[in-house]
Amino acid sequence: MNKNNLPIYFAIAVVLGIFIGVFFSKKTNHKLSFIGSSSKEVKIKKLIDFIQRDYVDTVDTDKLLDGAITQMLGKLDPHSVYIPKEKLQQVTENMQGNFVGIGVQFRMIKDSITVIQPIKGGPSIKAGIKAGDRILIANKDTLSGKKLKSDEVPKYLKGKPNTTVNLQIYRKSNDSLFNVNVTRGKVNIKSVDLAYMLNDSIGYIKLDRFARNTYTEFKTALHRLQKNGKMTDLVLDLRGNGGGFIDIANSIIDEFLEDDKLIVFTKNNKGKIEKSFATAKGDFEKGGLYILIDENTASASEIVAGALQDNDKGTIIGRRSFGKGLVQEEMDLGDGSAVRLTIARYYTPTGRSIQKPYDHKGNKSYYKEYQKRIYNGELLYKDSIPKVDSLQYKTPKGKIVYGGGGIIPDVFVAIDTTSYLNNFYFGTINTFSFKYVDTHRKELTKKWNLDDFINSFDTDDKVLKTYLNELKSTKPSAKTKKIIKQYLKASIANDLFGDVGFYRIMQTKDKMLQKVLELESSN
């Protein structure tokens, strides 16, 4: 997957995050049945019976019903969604923050499952599987040379806890072929993408989602950064974070707000209001805080940004967030499928609803608002952000904030249009990077740690020139070469050190982080 911060990739990510949704911490186990006294239930059951018995062609009534449910929910709001049973497990795993399997990040290379990184703490590391290993066979199922798609691979590697899968592995680094038994276990899907010190006094934590394990990961990262004893400020990066559980978001907010400060309140269709307040347990109530947001910061992420902004805690930096102020709850349909139904709206402490407008006609234009933001110029110019005077609110210290469609940042940073590469370069760079690391893995691993790699790798541009020579028919401009150099280095770091390596290098020219350092130096 390409990791540059292109709008199209972040848009896909945020739609997935919003599809996952935001629910109450206690999931109600609703079961629906077509058997009952309701005339509407009888009507639907009769229709299904008529189709099964009398319709002229053979029809899969399960698929028919799935389609009908999807259409029905589409007439409600953009975030009430149907989850078919074949997709529910994956969605649930994302929200719980773990799955049962062997624990590897992989990529299909020349029709072979190639391990990019074994996941930290997972069964594969314990079994001795390493980056660059090819998985050829799993329990007598040949996996190489079968043109498997990436989404077909997990069914061979996942399974029930404590079951064993026998893998045949080819290790290129020593040209060996061997078998290894891996006992499947719980594998953590990390929520904290990155946590490190930007300088001696400013810490940085990037949150990917608000899953069940996110708060624990966040606290671990925060405590690790605080151990150096010099951290006075923290950057909380919520860019591209599509949301998750409200209670997890509230717990993280609680780390920054004083006792009894209002965090968020929800209101259901009966007008019932439920409020959440900060407690006395916060570990970073006195420190300085910067919150980074963008157009794909959504849902629970907006609860965090809104709560901190309305309580005059920290500085919100970036661009207007997505604008999702609806709360979903998962309801079991009894056959392994489920619906995520909107059951309430949430409001920031000043009373703002940040839900952007939507219709009840299928919501076809709802996810196209990104294009509108491009056309009206708001990704480049602060003055182009729409504001509605009637939705103006005031924080305790007198700062003016707005409702009606996302969180407007305190400090605007335009989208960086100078860092884009087209898909051709993404594909060729990723392929080149893997081949380069795969060929030189031993010497690279021995020579480089991450900090030295960031500072000193390819200072003579030898690797860059090798890549450019392989392009042959394409000659990038001098400006494009600079972008290629950074992405190439980041892609190689990703194959060597994982996501941390990729993000650290891409962030060396991050406009929002540069703004943080600028604001900090002026204080």
Q: What is the pLDDT of residues 339-356, one digit of tens each?
A: 999 999 999 999 999 999
Average pLDDT, the chain: 89
Q: How confident is the model at residue 450 (pLDDT cuts 50, 70, 90)?
A: very high
Question: Which whole number is the average pLDDT over 145-159?
Answer: 89
Nearest to 522 by CA among 411, 396, 379: 411
pLDDT given at position 33 = 41
**Cross-strand bridge partners of residue 262:** 277
Instruction: Judge whether 310 counts as a catalytic residue.
Output: yes
Q: How confident is the model at residue 30 (pLDDT cuts 50, 70, 90)?
A: very low
Question: Which whole number is the average pLDDT over 16-39?
Answer: 45
Q: Is 99-188 CATH 2.30.42.10?
A: yes
Q: What percent of the chain has pLDDT over 70?
A: 93
DSSP 309: H
Instruction: Name the 3-class secondary structure at 390.
Output: helix
Instruction: Judge whether 462 counts as a catalytic residue.
Output: no
Q: Which of 206, 313, 324, 515 is catalytic?
A: 324
Domain range list for the chain: 1-97+190-415, 99-188, 419-513
**Does residue 75 have a pLDDT over 50?**
yes
**Does residue 47 have a pLDDT over 80?**
yes
Q: Which of 144, 191, 299, 337 is catalytic?
A: 299
**What is the token pair recorded at 490?**
């980041």
pTM comes to: 0.89
pLDDT given at position 366 = 86
The CA distances from residue 156 to 110, 138, 168, 313, 504, in Å, are 19, 7, 13, 48, 33
Backbone angles phi, psi at 368, to 5 degrees: -100, 5
**Does residue 362 have a pLDDT over 80?**
no
- What is the DSSP code string of 341-360? EEEEEEE-TTS---PPP--S
Provide the CATH number for the domain formed by 1-97+190-415 in this structure.
Answer: 3.90.226.10
Nearest to 17 by CA among 374, 291, 297: 297
Cβ-Cβ contacts under 8 Å for 84 (sequence gap 6 or more): 66, 337
**What is the token pair recorded at 501?**
């390596």
Residue 74 C-beta-side C-alpha neighbours within 13 Å: 13
Instruction: Judge whether 299 counts as a catalytic residue.
Output: yes
What's the N-to-C CA distance of the chain in angstroms?
39
**Does residue 15 have a pLDDT over 70?**
no
pLDDT given at position 206 = 98
**What is the token pair recorded at 350?**
């000043």
pLDDT given at position 297 = 98
**Digit-coded pLDDT (tens) for 221-232:** 999 999 988 999
**Does residue 449 have a pLDDT over 50?**
yes
Residue 361 and residue 475: Cα distance in Å, rounded? 48
pLDDT given at position 309 = 98
Question: Which whole number is the average pLDDT over 151-174?
Answer: 92
pLDDT given at position 293 = 98
Residue 318 and residue 412: Cα distance in Å, rounded? 5
**Does residue 55 have a pLDDT over 70?**
yes
Q: Which of 310, 495, 499, 510 is catalytic?
A: 310
